[in-house]
Structure 1
Amino acid sequence: MKKTVLIVLLAGIGSFVFLQKLRAQSNYKKTVDGVNATVNGVHIELEVYDAGTIRVIKYPEGAHFKKNSLAVIKSPDGNIPKKVFKRGNLVILETSALKTTLDRSTGKVSFSKLNNDLLFSERDNGAVFSPDKNADANSYDVKQSFTLDSNEVIYGLGEQQNGRLNQRGQDNLLVQGNGKVSIPFFQSVKGYGIYWDNYSPTRFIDNKAGTSFDSQVGNGIDYYFMKGANGDSVVAQMRFLTGQAPLLPLWVYGYNQSKERYKTQFELLDVVKKYRALHVPLDGIIQDWQYWGTDSNWNAMSFDSIRFPRPKKMIDSVHQLHAHIFIVAWPGFGPKTKQYSEFKKKSMLLNFDTWPPNSGTKVYDVYDPIARDIYWRYLNKGVFSLGSDAWWLDSSEPDHLNEKDSDFNQHTYLGTYRSVRNAFPLEHIKGVYAHQRQTTSKKRVVILTRSAFAGQQRFASNTWSGDVTSSWESFRNQIPAGLNFSLTGLPYWNTDIGGFFANDYVKGGGAKNPAFQELYTRWLQFGTFMPMMRSHGTAIPREIYQFGKKGDRIYDVLEKYIKLRYSLLPYIYSTAWQVTNHSGSFMRALAMDFIKDRNVYNIGGEYMFGKSFLVSPVTEKGAKEQQVYLPVGASWYDFWTGELQKGGQYIHRATPIEIMPLYVRAGSIIPWGPEVQYATEKKWDNLELRIYPGADADFTLYEDENDNYDYEKGLYSEIKFHWNDKAHELTIGKKNGHFPGMLEARKFKIVLVKQDHGSGSNLTMNVDKLVNYNGEKVLIKL
């Protein structure tokens, strides 16, 4: 009898389990945007944004999930062709580019190519929702675990000062800080990217147990998978989701001078005058902090009447000298400012200590749109209305002194500070960009800032790497930091040339200290090939004349590279157009262009600048030579000599202080600009055009009015060049487009580069052919 009951009971249990499985298998549905399902008490949504971009949302069954992303500006596209079908216990969502598979027994989501090659996968039962022990109602600590191939290489996570290009094997708390930009995004050499859309402090862990994002606050798991063929297409997918980068004015791609700090308007103007007298190019001068007076008046957005008695006259004088001025502004306000009083009255201040110490300064609630309106009202009245050209938005992490965990529980307009912590720079920079665009379209917005988050590229943001130290180790770390930042999808990045904290070199003579001169010179050579070339620091002034005079070796090298930057402006500005119009990148890890060459995957000390230049900064003190890797897939010209080297080899390049190893990819066309004192001094009516033979080449020369938003209305021109290497023919295409003041006729000086011909930073004396161009197609045989 007992045996019979047991059999019936087991049969009943088996039927129950079977029914549960059937119920689980049937508990999904196709939606306009993709697929919804519930697995083991977790609601899962798959949304199609384009054929290669899928959003994954997970949250506990019965919970509420609604989110307006701060970073992502796209919506799912229900019109994308897709198929949904079952295969056993799997639900497959297929587009023309990607298969997304949901396992209905474990909730695992995986992504494959159409031929079923696996790209990326979650771990089984990898979603974890833990009770949020903080002040956020209806929220969780959210974690998702993934599986990467054992030898897979990944890049990104923002700007990390760990000296590594490959971000495998990390345990990294992603939270904003001075010198650390935290963006929960990575991309793989397998050709995909992952953006984890969460703004709270997030731990990224990669070890033998798996890879995971774990955020302190979230209503659910929310991430985007982006399939791309290479690094460029993954960056393009990220820009598709989070916005394109507007074009900056031509002048900002020149040389910009700063220090901590110019104490009077007369000191600032004297710097610009000295550059002009020395005939050293300069386009930007930067006014750092305390132009407002005392710390209790911190960030008053008005000029101290004693040290800056006529600020509009100062700005006008800078313009008369054909230069432009950045003015600093902070998110914090001293207790004696009008802004502090207004924000406090309206409960728009965050109550924690910020810079400067012991001043009572508080930051405003950047997440509140009304607070951002107020911020701009003061900034416009006190600064922008005087004619300033660009912003230095400092401390945009922001600085957080005497940090207490309870500081993060206070509420902002969008929820607890903890829940939106990492998006502080995004919201702050957004406010200034949006308001300036509303105020005028005659000046392009330029924002230099110390922190960033996903999507910030759409607000004309140029992030610098923070207050790093003046050391060789710090210098070395900046290169992979900038490359990973760029691989995250944000194209504009720079550093304080020479490092910010230079105190260790003061006793040895400051700018006359040979040890600092070497470090600064090598750093400036690197700076010549950043998206923004900017000298800045404390303790030691960095103006070129501080290092000597013309004829002195260090002075001459610094001048040489500043002038090289200006020769490259047609190339740089055209590259900037590719960034804006085709989701391109300035600083390019070698894997972006040479993905088939595994030797480049972990090289963090070299990079491509645009598509043509291979840059290898000298980052070892006293180096007399440097090992340089030339990737497979191209031949390489030594920029300084014109000597041709084959790819796929390590070479040793002599590195006297005048030389930073620099190579140009065979199959490149480089327009060479005129010698100028500022970016717009001369029109590009007589450009030298350097052709590096050995492969076919293409280049598009871009021009517009240099500083307004008419290019968004189609007022610009492009001239396309094509080099047919086999036929030794250069085609200059028909001019495309028009804008007011454009050149109708011009000359091109064609130079076919070879050893000791068309090499180095000076214009070529004996060109190979002079071509008159009136906008019509021209074919030149060389």
Structure 2
Amino acid sequence: MKSAKILISTILLACTTSIATAADFIKNGNVVTVNINVNGNGAKLLRLQVVNDNIIRVEATAENQFPVKTSLIIVPQTAKPQFFVNEDRSVIKIKAKNVEADIDKLSGRITFFDSTGKLLLKEAVNGKTFKPYTVPQSNIGIGTLTDNQKKGWSWRALFESPSDEAFYGLGQHQSEEFNYKGKNEELFQYNTKVSVPFVMSNKNYGLLWDSYSLCRWGNPDDYEQLNHAFRLYDKNGNPGNLTGIYTAADGNQLLRGEDSLYFENSSVIGNLPKGFPLNGSNVVYEGYLEASQSSDYHFILYYAGYTKVYIGGKEVVPERWRTAWNPNAYKFVYHLDKGVKTQVRIEWQPDGGVSYCGLRVAKPMKDDEQNMLSIWSEMNRDMDYYFIAGNNMDQVISGYRTLTGKAPVYPKWALGFWQSRERYKTSEEVESTLSEFRKRHIPIDNIVQDWNYWKNDQWGSHQFDETRYPNPEAMLDSVHAMHGKFMISVWPKFYCNTENYKELDCNGWMYHQAVKDSIYDWLGYMGSFYDAYSAGARKMFWKQMNENMYKKYNCGIDSWWMDASEPNVRDCTPIGYRKALSGPTALGSSTEYFNAYSLVNADAIYNGQRSVQPNKRVFLLTRSGFAGEQRYSTATWSGDIGTRWEDMRAQMTAGLNYSMCGLPFWGMDQGGFCVENRYVAAQKLYDKTGIENDDLKEWRELQTRWNQFGCFIPLYRTHGQWPLRELWNIAPDDHPAYKSILYYDKLRYNLIPYLYSMTGWVNIKDYTMLRGLVMDFSNDANVNNIGNQWMFGPAFMACPVGYYKARNRNVYFPKQCGWYDLYTGRYISGGQNLIVDAPYERIPIFVREGSIIPFGPDMEWSDQKKPELINLYVYEGADADFLLYEDEGVNYNYEKGKYSTIDIKYIESNKTLTIGKRNGSFDGMLNKRRFNVVVVSKDRQKSLNLVNPDGKMIKYTGNKITIKL
């Protein structure tokens, strides 16, 4: 009988409803359930679901049955794929069209293959482990949870990984790390930190795990205090402590032993010397570390103020700075040998009021385990992940969006320039600022009203302070009359005395811990955040926004800035207390639902606005993000980053990894948000005397380089604290900073046909605009770790400058193709590193051979002119194609098929260009237009000229045209 079972091979169609049993598994529809008889802390049951031809869902539980649950991130799946289930003596094979999962019957280990049988991913020995988890009472907050809501499982998934594998995604983090192979990352939401439970491999697969709790990539354990990881010695070699030397601004000095450096949050900041005036002081921690084993040690530095770290006499962390109220974390690795005392020295200059500092280290793992694909999740009902296979990374991201939702076509104006500051304080400031842009003919689309437009004690009222904004509707009319759009900041935060708080609270939809603990914010008022996990609360949140702003002002608000949506109830609190402050939620503990707040909050506004004005495109900007947020027309910015060169460099890797999570629209505060005092002082000196000192020179160059960078990402937006960020406030109009920023602003508007087409592709074919080089050149191992240059769409390779006074930089040119300098047309062969010029006024931008770029007219706002004439640059050397997408730009008529596409192709072998037949139509479409075809080749190098380019003019009426170039 047993041998007969081994021979059974069954074809299972997803549309079947019958249940079949063979040996150790049960088949039901598109689900295969496997009993695993493994002792210890492994899985008892496995359940694999074939979602479609490319995706297999894996669930595992340590219980005797699977939980009943509803996903926040996965949308309903309707595919009915065909697949096979085969069983032999040791393995159950589940094979769909493009992906196969093999389950070892004895251990439950899963191995994934592509359609050709090529190994993609293999679970490690003991690759699924579970540990019971009960939510501590201290994390529950004010409220009650059922016993079932308090209990769950911590799990770890561990997979083998070859040495040439690279990993990307995980969200947006600030340590200048691009390839996460062999690295550690904690996944939680915080200001400047966005965590997404998705990772993608250069082997063309992705993993999306359906978990909302705190997670860790790499090392599953929390970072340890130094005294737990090492034997410590003071500066004189005495065991037990490091030496802390605190020198106040007046020269008074305090020495004390430090058994750890952990002054990282509000619960431990009191461990710093009592009564010591830290602001303006100099602090040195020094001594020796003695490791108990030889290893590469992964450190994490937590800092506010100015900080440097030296180990073994080497500067391992050059000076970094953050403002006192908004610390940052930075990671680095250093090898220590067993039994060797190695000098450590941390230099810290606190800068502001309460200031934070910490240095911890991860418990070392063996190299082979450190380099595996490792995911740990704190609390879940079970282990639940989706394996997504593809022929390339774009197909993997398409699979991710199949699971989590399509991205809508974002409004065209969102691609233009945005002006913001912290903050416009009156309606007159808003209107006069936009007016100055128009007077100076500086292109702009969107002006942003940041926080505190309400009365000082009315946070959450959603009402303007009438003394500063006497007629908000007139302000909106004025902005629109100047062809601008208006975005406004709305927090999920409410002061207790507001009517909105009271209305939400009486329904049980406010978090209470902050009120119970009498937490006052920096303005001196008490409040808390609403529970966005409640469907009723979300509807009421939108109702309050609608009644107080949207409907009240005739739907004149164009977009919403959803700040502090982590949620950030209070800065600089330990994670345990953060959970108490933001829970319990309507769905369960905030331990279980820790990371998904911005997703459900975005749901409230997106569906709310569409319910009252269904044909005006919604656009949200949020300071946090999560898997699936793209379906709510939501973009993310990188939070309140610092105004330092290292912060600018960190945004490059942060933005790339965020985009490679499948979330297509990302931006940042160009120029940085939090400003060093030296820049403030330099601006004040200039305002008083007209003197441009060294700090102001650096400030202006930093702003220039950052705005050059910002031109080549999805959102082009400047923002920050004082000094003001409007172009004329950065530098006078004869200054190279002014001229350069204006150049890139104008170029951005010339690129609207290119940019908006990509926005259409995001919707039509799940495209990714901001692309790590590995997405397009995955068979070139040289690009795996390049995080400071990228593809912006199919044509441009952007190479920003991230260092002060740098006038050149190294660029790697991928070997698969040749490249053209955008500005000069000079041809460069691929497969080489070169030092290229990077003058103050320009950053290096290169165009891939085999590219077609449609340049539109000069404009001062995104719909000022229809692109009746497109200068169509064709870069020869390889076949090229470009799908020109157009629609009405501001509504949802495209969902009804009202849009057009023109497929433009270039064939290198016979030098022909075909402008295809126009497909589709929409109201206001150009029926006739001109294409001026400009050819750039090795032999015909042409500088970029958008004024009167020398090309071949083609009149186009919608019919196919082929020309010889």
Equivalence for 2:273:
none
CA contact (8 A) 1:478 1:495 kept: yes
Once the two structures are TM-superposed, the CA of residue 31 in structure 1 deviates from its matched residue by 2.1
Q: 1:360 to 1:154 in 2, by over 3 A?
A: same
* Contiguous gaps of at least 5 residues in structure 2: 1-20, 39-43, 137-148, 220-366, 687-691
- Superposed, 1:765-776 pairs within 5 Å as 765-776=948-959
Given the superposition, is the C-alpha separation of residues 692 and 124 from structure 1 closer, same or farther in structure 2, using an over 3 Å criterion?
same
Q: How far apart, in 1, do the equivalents of 2:729 and 2:949 lie?
A: 36
Structure 1 residue 113 displacement after superposition: 2.4
TM-score normalised per structure 2:
0.77
Residue 508 (structure 1) aligned to one of 662, 682, 688: 682
- The amino acid of 1:27's aligned partner reads D
Q: What is the SS of the residue equivalent to 1:420?
A: coil
Q: Counterpart in 2 of 1:15?
A: none
Counterpart residue type for residue 399 of structure 1: N
Deviates more, 1:506-515 or 1:158-167: 506-515
Where 2:794 maps in the other structure, the secondary structure is coil
2:521 corresponds to 1:356 = yes
Match of 1:75 in 2: 77
Q: CA deviation at 1:764?
A: 4.8
Q: For the residues of structure 2 that align with 1:327 and 1:99, how far apart are their CA atoms?
A: 48
Q: 685, 688, 699: which one pairs with 2:882?
A: 699
Contact 2:911–2:964, Cα closer than 8 Å, also in 1: yes
Pairwise CA distance, 1:63: 4.1
Matched-pair contact (CA < 8 Å) for 2:529–2:569 = no
Q: Deviations over 1:428-475 (max 9, x none)?
A: 011101111111133211111111000001111110011110101111
> 2:559 aligns to what?
390
| Among candidates 741, 745, 755, match of residue 572 of structure 1 | 755
Taking structure 1 as reference, are residues 746 and 758 closer, same or farther at Cα in structure 2, changes over 3 Å only? farther
Structure 1 distance, partners of 2:803, 2:587, is: 47
**1:143 Cα deviation from its structure 2 partner:** 2.2
Q: Which of 548, 556, 576 is the matching residue for 1:405?
A: 576
- Distance in 2 separating the partners of 1:762 and 1:303: 46
* Partners of 2:478 and 2:856 in 1: CA distance: 27
State how far apart, in whole Å, the 2-side matches of 1:191 and 1:754 are: 33
Q: Does 1:28 align with 2:25?
A: yes
User: How many positions carry a matched residue from both structures?
Assistant: 758
1:481 aligned to 2:646?
no
Query: Are the aligned partners of 2:868 and 2:930 in contact in 1 as well (CA < 8 Å)?
Result: yes
Aligned pairs (5 A) from 1:200-279: 200-205=213-218, 208-209=368-369, 210-279=372-441
Change in Cα spacing, 1:538 to 1:740, as seen in structure 2 (3 Å) is same
Q: Which residue of 2 aligns with 1:127?
A: 128
Contact 1:325 1:389 in 2 (8 A): yes
Counterpart residue identity of residue 273, structure 1: S
Q: Secondary structure at the residue paired with 1:141?
A: strand
Task: In structure 2, give the amino acid aligned to 1:379.
Answer: M
| Superposition deviation, residue 252 in structure 1 | 1.1
In 1, Cα distance between equivalents of 2:521 and 2:879: 56
Matches within 5 A, 1:523-534: 523-534=706-717
Aligned position for 2:15: none
Paired with 1:234 and 1:160, the residues of 2 have a C-alpha distance of 22
Equivalent residue, structure 1, for 2:721: 538
**1:757 Cα offset (Å):** 7.4
Given candidates 34, 38, 51, the residue that maps to 1:37 is 34
Gaps of 5+ in 1: 1-23
2:102 is the alignment partner of 1:101: yes
Q: Distance in 1 between matches of 2:409 and 2:636?
A: 15
* Paired position in structure 1 for 2:806: 623
- Pick closer, same or farther for the CA change 1:146–1:407 going to 2, 3 Å: same
Shift of 1:759: 5.0
Structure-2 separation of matches of 1:165 and 1:464: 18
Deviation at 1:299, TM superposition (A): 2.5
The TM-score normalised by the length of structure 1 is 0.94
Change (3 A) 1:756 1:161: farther
* Structure 2: distance between partners of 1:441 and 1:685: 30
Deviation at residue 756 of structure 1 after TM alignment: 11
Give the distance between the partners of 1:759 and 1:293, measured in 2 at CA: 57
CA contact (8 A) 2:648 2:672 kept: yes
Query: CA, structure 1 residues 757+342, in 2 after alignment: closer, same or farther (shift >3 Å)?
Result: farther
Residue in 2 aligned with 1:368?
Answer: 534
2:184 is aligned to 171
Residue 418 of structure 1: CA displacement?
1.2
Structure 2 equivalent of residue 452 of structure 1: 625
SS of residue in 2 equivalent to 1:433: helix
Tell me if structure 2 keeps the 8 A contact 1:506–1:540: yes
Q: Does the 8 Å contact 1:157/1:184 carry over to 2?
A: yes
CA contact (8 A) 2:569 2:578 kept: no
> Which residue, out of 735, 749, 753, partners 2:918?
735
Q: What amino acid is the match of 2:721?
A: T
* Contact 1:25-1:89 within 8 A present in 2 as well: no
Distance in 2, matches of 1:150 and 1:770, equals 52
CA separation of 1:570 and 1:286: change in aligned 2, threshold 3 A: same
Secondary structure at 1:765 match in 2: coil
Label 1:575 to 1:355 Cα distance change in 2 as closer, same or farther (>3 A): farther
How far residue 70 of structure 1 moved from its aligned partner, in angstroms, is 0.5
Identity of aligned residues (%): 37
Report the alpha carbon displacement of residue 771 of structure 1 after superposing the two structures with TM.
Answer: 1.1
Instruction: State the alpha-carbon separation in 1 of the partners of residues 472 and 786 from structure 2.
Output: 47
Partner Cα separation in structure 1 for residue 578 and residue 841 of structure 2 = 50
Alpha-carbon contact 1:159-1:484 (below 8 Å) kept: yes
Counterpart amino acid of residue 676 in structure 2: N
Out of 62, 66, 69, the residue aligned to residue 68 of structure 2 is 66
Q: Work out whether residues 724 and 730 of structure 2, in 8 Å CA contact, stay in contact via their aligned partners in 1.
A: no
SS of alignment partner, residue 297 of structure 1 = coil
Which shows bigger deviation, 727-736 or 222-231? 727-736
**Residue-by-residue CA offset, 1:352-399 (whole Å, 9 max, x unaligned):** 448834521200000001101110011112222211000100001111
Q: 1:151 matched to which residue of 2?
A: 164
Q: Deviations over 1:197-222 (max 9, x none)?
A: 10011122256324322222111100
- Higher share of residues assigned helix: 1
User: Within the alignment, does 1:671 sit opposite 2:892 as a pair?
Assistant: no
2:521 maps to amino acid: P
8 A contact 2:217–2:376 mirrored in 1:
yes
Matches of 1:751 and 1:140, distance apart in 2? 61
Report if aligned partners of 1:569, 1:673 keep a CA contact under 8 Å in 2.
Answer: yes
Provide the C-alpha distance between the structure 2 equivalents of 1:406 and 1:256, rounded to a whole number of angstroms: 36
1:461 equivalent in alignment to 2:634 = yes
CA deviation map 1:658-681 (0-9, x unaligned)? 110000011111111101111111
Q: Closer, same or farther in 2 for the Cα pair 1:442/1:96, shift >3 Å?
A: closer
Q: How far has the Cα of 1:735 moved from its partner?
A: 1.1
Q: 2:203 aligns with which of 190, 193, 203?
A: 190
Range with bigger deviation, 710-719 or 112-121: 112-121
User: In structure 2, how many angstroms separate the alpha carbons of the residues matched to 1:365 and 1:760?
Assistant: 56
CA contact (8 A) 2:877 2:937 kept: no
Structure-1 separation of matches of 2:151 and 2:768? 40
In structure 2, the partner of 1:9 is none
- Selected match of 1:429 from 597, 602, 611: 602
Deviations 1:631-678, CA, capped at 9 Å, x for gaps: 011110100100011111111111111110000011111111101111
3-state SS of paired residue (1:604) = coil
